[in-house]
Amino acid sequence: MDDEITPEEVAELLDSDDPPRIVDIRSPGAFAREHIPGSENIPFGELPDRVESLESAERIVTVCPHGQASQQAARLIKSYEGTAGARVESMKGGLAAWEGDVESSSEEPAESPF
């Protein structure tokens, strides 16, 4: 993990020309109820099997409910050889600290194959 990033900094980056990939590590149900627009859901338990999908990212921000599990997720992502060159940060305070827009999915998430 490179560092923690504030929700305000994440909001600024999302409005930039080169936004980071936002990886929400909560369960599919929690993600469907509410998430940062444009984020992708990779539940923490699936992260080891799906981390290679992040190889092309230059900057990754992990998100969880309160900013603690996302620190572990950021460390795991950063330790993967394919993402070693990426900047990997955890959003400080998690979704509890996020004051920006959120979106929800109207349909129930599909069962995970993992």
The pair of structure tokens assigned to 41 is 């859901």
The domain ranges of the chain are 21-97
Under CATH, what is the fold of the domain 21-97? Oxidized Rhodanese; domain 1 (3.40.250)
List the one residue out of 62, 57, 60 whose CA is nearest residue 91.
62
| Separation CA 79–CA 114 (nearest Å) | 21
CB 7 within 8 A of CB 39: no
The single residue of 64, 73, 88, 91 carrying the catalytic annotation is: 64
What's the average pLDDT block by block, 10 residues per block, for the chain (114 residues)? Answer: 92 95 97 96 97 96 96 96 94 96 73 50
* Residue 105: predicted pLDDT: 82
User: Is 64 an active-site residue?
Assistant: yes
